Amino acid sequence: MTIVTTDPARSPGPRGEPGGPRGTAIRPSRLRGLRETVGRFIARTDGLAGAVILAVFTVLALMPELFVGPLETVVSATGASLEPPSAAHLLGTDELGRDMLNLTVHGARISMTIGLLATIITIAVGAVVGIVAGYIGGKLDIGLMRVTDFFLVLPTFVLAIILAPILLDIIGAEAEILGIRATLLVIVVVIGLTSWATTSRVIRSQVLSVKERMFVDRARVIGTGGARTMRRHILPNVVNLIVAQAVLTFAVAVFTETTLAFIGLGDPFAPSWGQILSAAQAAGAPGLRAWWYIAPPAVCVVLVVLAFTLVGNALDDILNPKSGGRR
Amino acid sequence: MTTAAEIRGRRQWPLPKQANPAAPLLEVEDLSVRFAMRQGSVKAVDGVSFRLDDGEALGIAGESGCGKTTTALSLVRLLPANGRIRGGSVRLFGIDLVPKSERQLARYRWREISMVFQGAMNALNPVQRVGDQIAEPIEVRLGQSRDASHKRARELLDLVGIPKQRSAAYPHELSGGMRQRAMIAMALACDPAIVIGDEPTTALDVMVQAQILQLLERLRRELGLSLILITHDLSVIAETCDRVMIMYAGKVAEEGPVTRLFTAPRHPYTRKLLSSFPNIHADRRTLDVIPGAPPDLRNPPPGCRFAPRCSFAMDVCREVVPPEVRFSDGVRVACHLFPTPDTAPLVVASGPTAPLTVGRRADGAHEAAPGIPDVPTPPPAGRPRGLDGADPEDGQRPLDEGRSAS
Amino acid sequence: MSEPYDGLAAPPPMPRPDDPAAVPAPVSHPAEWSVAADAPELLRLDNLEVHFPIRGGLLDTLTGRAKGVVRAVDGIDLTIRRGEILALVGESGSGKTTTGRVVVKLTKQTGGRVTVDGKDVSSLWGTRSLRDYRRRVQLIFQDPYETLNPKHTIGEFVMEPLIVNRIGSKHERLERAMAALDAAGLRPAADYAARYPHELSGGQRQRVVIAGALVMDPELVVADEPVSMLDVSIRTELLRLMLDLRRERGLTYLFITHDLSIAWVLADRIAVMYLGKIMEIGPAEQVIRTPRNPYTQALVSVSPSPDPPAAGERASRTILVGETPDAAHVPSGCRFHPRCPLAFDRCTVDEPPLFDVGDGHKAACWLAEAGPLNLPVIEAVEAAGGSEVAAADIGVATEAAS
């Protein structure tokens, strides 16, 4: 005989809401958890500052035309060559007479898009490798980790410099895959190739500790197979880390793209910030004291990378499970 | 088991300058501790009073959430960031520690009161040698030289039963029992008057637990230590302590000599709690069930906090907080079944439930213990007394003397 | 320091205490329903062994050479009849948890045989038969805070075994999950099913774990320290629940615990393990009251009881010196001999088998070779490996006086 009787109509529902007959709702929304996370995030100044900066740049990246009109080209250049900032051109012009503000804002879209694509590849590959290696262990783990180590020690830029021309040769510089130009694709692939290893290492170490937790044992006792365990038990408990890693990877991706473009491996038709900097150097802007050519894209890169890093660190702190749900 | 009468007396170090030699060793009066949380403020400890004399071992028992650990932590002011002492006094040698600043408190922390924590693995620094960790407080707080501190550390290790050579070991190289002994050595480093043990044996095997308890007993005898033992395990208290204080939901339910409390428990919670512990040496194999769960301290029930779960609950219990009553055998209870002259009319008006029998024979049957009246007789024996136990009207001796075992 | 106090989850609605029917009955033995004498065997372990190799560095891994062996379970024989509760008692390092894990097939045995209901299930690693096995044998875990995935609801937890093993339709699974939650005392089940673990108290979570085991309708339940992390007053409720379930569903329990007192209250039979071997096994009453192995006797004598010793009279306790040694370095002969207060010559050389000491009671001790022997109580053992009480004092013949 055990604790008995309570009128279901009078009992409080979950989370203190007014009770009532419950249907078959076994999976309620996880909005409350999300709201709580957002609340804790807002409480941190560093994360909040980063988020605000990111929000600004995201809006600019999504709708550049709204703010500065269409991307100016050689043909549609509106100003004289290398004009310093003035009322007409807030950030001056480049050597082709294009408005710098216009270029910088459009550059946001390109830089961030490349960053996003690269991040998706990195996280997808890194998380899968990390989870599989960490959970299955044994020889598979050893093998995958050696591969990861190999990619970890490769210097990013050296690899990029070597790979980019080779890939371009193979694909053909003018080719387009899924509407994305080959040069762009190469950048994305190269960044992905060099960044996934870190993510996989980080995820794997978290998986190693999640794997030891009792609910994973319980899943095994009831006969859950490996695939389902990884999907339903391991993944939800590392998703926090994946998100934090994604944000940090984004930052690295933007920076890497900028550098690659600067050394001439970018797409000249897609004026990302790195491209702009490269063009600035080619035009001799430093010698000509045309600071307005160099400063805007550089500052933007720094701001965006900083913002991502702040947000990523804040998320990491907030979402990191401290103890396994103990009250 | 060593009784307080056998203890030689506290160690011979000079008392702090402000100490009052005539005052009891430790006197806690009306202590209140609040925790500030997002959902509201929680009074984890609500008006707790007790006293510890020279060479005594006091056990504080209760389940999780009753406030026993918070009480212990607030004695040395090691509360977490959101906890604050909101009222009451903690008098060590007559010196009130509550208003002291952190800097002033350093004189007392570890030197007069120290603590043995639960889970030695968490309290020991894994990258520092055990001997160094024990020598550290000696060096820092007593200002002794490095060599002298290390020598003393090795002596302490020997005292707690760890071979001196192991002083160079790291915590992970020691077994669970040895780590707990190292923790005890650390607590003894500055030769304190009081050692607080917070569940010191809970995580250990029963045999290791017996070894540690035996060690504590020996240390009490040899060093004249006074002990406050915090645990949920009443069996451990029964075997090691002189007096026991049962806490429930932040308040004291019952307190008194171990021999009295265990053989003649008065508070319904104490009685239920006692019979929730299996007794391997008894004939009957029975465990009682206490229905329900402890209250949410953000919103404690009005009146007696145990009322929702109590089989003897009367109407007055749900409205009025029961005042503390002291019996002549040294037991304090806070329960309307033992009312004061002020609350007696309320109790009689609300009508008692079943007659209360107190006392438990060895075969498990209950009998009324002598000197404790059955309800609803108006209480001649239970009258509130001051903490010093004197009752001038009675002409009885103050409770300090004549602390007989039965 | 201690974690910041964060209160407790809201408790479930409680019965009115003055309603006698609502107050749960105490857990009481032997008034409980006891096992029929002719009940069939459900679980049988024959010479079960679980040895873990200790791996060395990289070179050793490559050459496959083990540095040593941890003999966690070193040859045990055990039977449990249908409807019985057998308590497997031991300290840390005794191998009791590993034994439990082998029975539920979380750990693979390295030797010996496991038989369930007459069928040998030792090498059952194919899918179909393993699924059947898992349906019949379930595990209740120790830590109610860790067994529930914090990201899943209670309902998801309870339905998971049915989903994984593809039992029943969606509707049927839901019904069975609700029935299991109800049987575990969580009413109304639908309410609890939608909650997350952090909203429940420890006792409620453990009930959820029990519901998760019940939903498969098992026959044998291995309970690994199911109440040791709960408050004392909650423990009794859970034990009460387990006993009720036995009566209602005919469950059989292998109850693993380090607490001899809980075994005393709950179990029909008790088996005491030390360093991978069973030291003593028999009806609970006999093992506790008349232990025939010095280790059991020591454990019983140091188990604290809530009855304070009367003034002037000291309870005699046999406090052993030292701790259980590493399972990688098992002593020769009787593995308990270095710490045994009654050890003599033969104990250092030969390992004793389980001797019959009457009525289903067996003890692995050379002192029991000739039959049941009342062991003297050695009060305080100052030196390991024996005291002044020589075997001759208790009338046992030895080869040479020590």
The alpha carbon of residue B391 is apart from the nearest alpha carbon of chain C, in Å, by 27
**The residue to which tokens 């160094």 are assigned:** B132
Closest-CA distance of chain C to residue A10, Å: 10
CB C309 within 8 A of CB C355: no
Q: What is the ipTM of this complex?
A: 0.81
Cβ atoms of B64 and B92 within 8 Å: the answer is no
**How far away is chain B from the Cα of C151, in angstroms, using its nearest Cα?**
22
Cα-only R_g, chain A: 25
First to last CA, chain C: 51
- Report CB contact under 8 Å: A24, C156: no
Question: What tens digit of pLDDT does each residue of C279-316 get?
Answer: 999 999 999 999 999 999 999 988 888 877 654 444 57
| List of chain B residues whose C-beta atoms are within 8 Å of the C-beta of residue C18 | 311, 313, 353
Sequential DSSP letters for B307-329: GGG-TT--HHHHHSPPPEEE-TT
Better pLDDT: B2 or C61: C61
Q: Tell me which residue of A131, A319, A121 sits closest to A232, measured CA to CA.
A: A131
Sort out which chain C residues have CB atoms less than 8 A from A223's CB and list them.
130-131, 134, 161, 164-165
Q: Count CB-CB contacts under 10 A for residue A18.
A: 7
At C172 the pLDDT is 92
pLDDT digits (tens, 9 = 90+) for C112-123: 999 998 888 888
End-to-end CA distance of chain B: 14
Q: List the one residue out of B163, C333, B38, C331 whose CA is nearest residue A40.
A: B38
Dihedral over alpha carbons C262, C265, C267, C271 (to 10 degrees): 50
Q: Hey, are the CB atoms on C26 and B296 less than 8 Å from each other? A: no
pLDDT on residue A204 = 95
Strands A176-177 and A180-181: antiparallel
Instruction: Decide if A8 and C155 are in contact by the 8 Å CB cutoff.
Output: no
Annotate B9-74 with DSSP letters as a single string: -S--SPPPTT--TTS-SEEEEEEEEEEEETTEEEEEEEEEEEEE-TT-EEEEE--TTSSHHHHHHH
CB B279 within 8 A of CB B293: no
Give the pairing of strands B113-116 and B194-198. parallel
Higher per-residue confidence, A257 vs C256: C256
Query: Which chain A residues have any C-beta within 8 angstroms of a chain C C-beta?
Result: 1-6, 8, 10-16, 19, 21-28, 213-215, 217-225, 228, 232-233, 236-237, 321, 324-327
Q: How far is Cα A68 from Cα B105, in angstroms, rounded to an integer? A: 65
Helix, strand, coil percentages in chain A from 3-state DSSP, rounded to 5? 70, 0, 30
Q: How many CB atoms lie within 10 A of CB B403?
A: 16
**Two structure tokens written together for B321:** 């907080």
Q: What is the pLDDT, as a whole number, of residue A254?
A: 85
Instruction: Compute how many other C-beta atoms are within 10 angstroms of the C-beta atom of residue B7.
Output: 21
Closest residue in C to B6 (Cα) is C312
From B286, which residue of chain C is nearest by alpha-carbon distance?
A: C28
Q: Which of B205, B296, B299 to mutate to test the interface with C (most CBs of C within 10 A)?
A: B205
Alpha-carbon gap, residue C238 to C226, rounded angstroms = 8
Nearest CA in chain A to C183: A2
CATH topology of domain C33-274: Rossmann fold (3.40.50)
Q: Measured in whole angstroms, how far is the alpha carbon of residue B284 from the centre of its chain?
A: 29
Do residues A232 and A246 touch, judged by C-beta distance below 8 A?
no
For residue range B169-220, list pLDDT tens digits in order.
999 888 888 999 999 999 998 888 899 999 988 878 889 999 999 899 899 8
CB contact under 8 A, B277 and C306: yes
Which B residues 143-162 touch C at CB under 8 Å?
none
Cα of A321 to nearest chain C Cα, Å: 10
Q: Which residues contact C127 (CB under 8 A, 6 or more apart)?
A: none
Of C24, C190, C209, the CB nearest to A3: C24
Q: What is the pLDDT of residue B2?
A: 47
How far is Cα C104 from Cα C252, in angstroms, rounded to an integer? 14
Taking the C-alpha atoms of residue C171 and residue C156, their distance in angstroms, rounded to an integer, is 14
Q: Phi and psi (nearest 5°) for C362?
A: -130, 150
Ordered DSSP codes for C115-155: EETTEE-TT--SHHHHHHHHHHEEEE-S-TTTSS-TTS-HH
- Strands C111-116 and C119-120 turn out to be antiparallel
- Residue A22 is nearest to which of C134, C159, C190, comparing CB atoms? C190
Which residues, in sequence order, are CB contacts of A65 under 8 Å at separation 6+? none
Strand partners, B383: B326
Instruction: Give tens-digit pLDDT for A29-57.
Output: 455 667 777 777 777 788 888 889 989 88
Domains in chain A, CATH or no CATH each? 43-57+97-319 (1.10.3720.10)
Whole-number mean pLDDT of chain A?
78
Q: Quick one: tokens of C216?
A: 């498969």
Q: Which residue has the higher pLDDT, C57 or C18?
A: C57
Whether A26 and C143 lie within 8 Å, measured CB to CB: no
- Residues C115-144: b if buried by 16+ CB within 10 A, e if exposed: bbeeeebbebeeeeeebebbbebbbbbbbb
Domains annotated on chain B, with CATH: 4-244 (3.40.50.300), 265-391 (no CATH)
Q: Which two tokens stand for residue A183?
A: 């040069």
What confidence tier does B359 reach under pLDDT thresholds 50, 70, 90? very low
The amino acid that residue B238 corresponds to is: A
What is the residue extent of each domain of chain C? 33-274, 291-402
Whether residue C27 and residue B281 make contact (CB cut-off 8 A), yes or no, is no
| Selected residues 102-131 of chain B with any CB under 8 Å from a CB in chain C | none
Contact C149 A6 (CB under 8 A): no
Mutation pick from A1, A3, A224 vs chain C, by most beta carbons of C within 10 Å, is A3
- Residue B284, pLDDT score: 64
Using CA coordinates, name the residue in chain A closest to C247: A1
How far apart (Å, rounded) are the C-alpha atoms in residues B45 and C5? 11
Q: Return the partners of chain B (3 or more C-beta pairs < 8 Å).
A: C
Structure tokens at C168: 């029943």
**Dihedral angle over CA of A16, A21, A26, A30, nearest 10:** -30
Query: Residue C277, CB half-sphere, CA atoms under 13 Å: how many?
Result: 21
Beta-carbon separation of B239 and C308 below 8 A: yes
Residues of A in contact with C3 (CB under 8 A): 326
Q: How far apart are CA C330 and CA A42, in angstroms?
A: 57
pLDDT on residue B246: 96
CB contact under 8 A, A3 and C131: no
pLDDT tens across C88-108, in order? 999 988 999 999 999 999 888
- State how far residue C105 is from chain B, nearest Cα, in angstroms: 26
- C138 reaches A (C-beta below 8 A): yes
Mean pLDDT of C171-179: 93
Q: What is the pTM of this model?
A: 0.78
C149, closest residue in chain A (CA to CA): A215
Least Cα separation, residue C392 to chain B (angstroms): 27
Q: Is B1 on the interface with C (CB under 8 A)?
A: yes
Residue in C130, C160, C247 to test binding to A, most A beta-carbons within 10 Å: C160
- Cα–Cα distance for residue pair A108/A271, rounded to 1 Å: 9
Rounded CA-CA distance B202/B233 in Å is 8
Helical H segments across C64-126, by residue range: 96-103
Residue from the list C30, C201, C307 with its beta carbon closest to the beta carbon of B279: C307
Contact call for C7 and B39, based on CB within 8 A: yes
Q: How far is A6 from chain C (nearest CA, A)?
A: 7
